[in-house]
Structure 1
């Protein structure tokens, strides 16, 4: 992997960016706290507390399948982000993979082993995502992350002001997400994920490059820009999501997702710790030494 040299200029530039980000964050907090002193804003928050009413038949709590889906999505997306970055920065691939079936009129197309792993993880993520969509709508869980009334937008604004002022909205994720969470989950599941798939397909070796009309209609430069933008979104989402989970009652939140109960035990934290260990192990094993035997089952490995 190509490493960026750690120079004094780079360190200073990074420190300035961090400082500017902290100043902007501090200004946002002061502004939100000042706004909350206004009677108009207080009335607005009172009328829109930050949470929309769910349809009457919306299920309460988290089923076991959602816990497994959450773990698998976390595992796949972290490895996809890692391998995607390696594909962009790796100048000397440590091996190549090619299908045993040669395309008509030419030799098999070779891709780097890292790209093969990236595409394989993409396929597993898509399969898991399709299953997630099916279960989401079959069990009624969709109503928890899909806006069903227009008041979700003023409630999301209210929740934003409350978060920014450091006086956070009441958390009741077992029953209902606040409207800001709902919108971000909706964007992640129904917009960002499909965009990642659509742009990834355009950049993959499976794209029908011989179809000039289709390729001109969907330029690879556009797909690459979308793909990178979605990558940045997912990284930012993961950072904010994990931070809020830990800062708004970590033990209870982990129980919701990993132990599928609303209690105050350590069960969720224990399961989370085990899942984290699995993710760390998968991260460590995602190397050519361990990937080659698996890749060789589905094609031919060459150096």
Structure 2
């Protein structure tokens, strides 16, 4: 009954938000506000138009790694007695007082995914600034904030903002994407490094400057944020013109054909396959190529 209770509360709260938003939109001052701030901020005149093909690949890889990172991170957090451990052959960074550090297989998988996600993210940021695409997700005008409020009100009233994602994201999308790329991702990285075996051992001053407790208080909420973002992002993509949105994101096309949906379906199958294969029986052989597996 506990779960049903919270579901009922969420449904009632959502219905209340929609009703209040619809009522507010009938008010004269609110209508004037929506006219003045339609929900998107103008881009610089030299901003690129369209979604490049590289962004589609980056989008898939980021989503693939992030889904598995969330899964493995939850396993690390909730697994009391790991079924297997991994020890690196070449001690390198994972070394404690001259001895290689033994970590759970779940943590090895999580850290390996983190490295791949960070490398892909670095490539994404480089391409973002090299092509000028950063102007699409970095606020360049202060009116981004009232426009974000306008877009939020439109979403809440279930009257979606006018979409022109091929040219310009709405203000709420810009702030969300900016937060993901330039705030949440760095926070996940710096807190993850602090909690990992790669953190320098025996450095009292460094440990005092950045305590483990602070990293833990940052890392888990960031994971919750990413989870909520993924759920909301996918929901809005499918509810606000699925075919056109998927063509933008996966096929680099400005139409409502089925190519983007086909690529999305294939990428979803790959993610599901990765999720199903992320089990000890499949991870042991891979981890064994880079270290020693023990119980």
TM-score range relative to shorter protein:
over 0.9
Mapped pair 1:278 → 2:274: no
Aligned-partner SS, 1:93: coil
Once the two structures are TM-superposed, the CA of residue 259 in structure 1 deviates from its matched residue by 0.8
Deviating above 2 A after TM superposition, structure 1's stretches of 4 or more consecutive aligned residues are 101-107
Aligned in 2, Cα 1:221/1:105: closer, same or farther, shift over 3 Å? closer
With normalisation by structure 1, the TM-score equals 0.94
Further displaced range: 22-31 or 96-105: 96-105
Distance in structure 1 (CA, Å) of the matches to 2:292 and 2:72: 20
Mapped pair 1:138 → 2:127: no
Once the two structures are TM-superposed, the CA of residue 32 in structure 1 deviates from its matched residue by 1.0
Further displaced range: 116-125 or 52-61: 52-61
Matching of residues 256-275 of structure 1 within 5 Å: 256-275=248-267
Once the two structures are TM-superposed, the CA of residue 104 in structure 1 deviates from its matched residue by 7.0
With normalisation by structure 2, the TM-score equals 0.97
2:6 aligns with one of 5, 17, 27: 17
Aligned-partner SS, 1:197: helix
Distance in structure 2 (CA, Å) of the matches to 1:285 and 1:123: 19
Give the match for residue 65 of structure 1.
Answer: 54
Mapped pair 1:153 → 2:145: yes
Distance in structure 2 (CA, Å) of the matches to 1:91 and 1:205: 18
Distance in structure 1 (CA, Å) of the matches to 2:99 and 2:170: 55
1:35 aligns with one of 14, 24, 28: 24
Mapped pair 1:203 → 2:198: no
Task: Report if aligned partners of 2:96, 2:201 keep a CA contact under 8 Å in 1.
Answer: no
Aligned in 2, Cα 1:104/1:168: closer, same or farther, shift over 3 Å? closer
Matching of residues 39-188 of structure 1 within 5 Å: 39-102=28-91, 103=95, 105-188=97-180
Once the two structures are TM-superposed, the CA of residue 18 in structure 1 deviates from its matched residue by 1.4
Distance in structure 1 (CA, Å) of the matches to 2:263 and 2:128: 23
Aligned length: 292
Task: Report if aligned partners of 2:87, 2:101 keep a CA contact under 8 Å in 1.
Answer: yes
Aligned in 2, Cα 1:221/1:242: closer, same or farther, shift over 3 Å? same
Aligned-partner SS, 1:258: helix
Further displaced range: 12-21 or 95-104: 95-104
Report the RMSD for the aligned CA atoms in angstroms.
Answer: 1.1
Distance in structure 2 (CA, Å) of the matches to 1:278 and 1:14: 31
Once the two structures are TM-superposed, the CA of residue 106 in structure 1 deviates from its matched residue by 3.4
Distance in structure 2 (CA, Å) of the matches to 1:302 and 1:156: 52
Aligned-partner SS, 2:164: coil
Q: Which runs of 5+ in 2 are unaligned?
A: none
Distance in structure 2 (CA, Å) of the matches to 1:121 and 1:131: 15
Q: Which runs of 5+ in 1 are unaligned?
A: 1-11
Aligned-partner SS, 2:100: coil
Distance in structure 1 (CA, Å) of the matches to 2:18 and 2:281: 49
Further displaced range: 133-142 or 200-209: 200-209
Deviation per CA, 1:148-188, whole angstroms, max 9, x where unpaired? Answer: 00000000011111111111110111111000111001001
Deviation per CA, 1:29-64, whole angstroms, max 9, x where unpaired? Answer: 111111111111100000000011001111111111
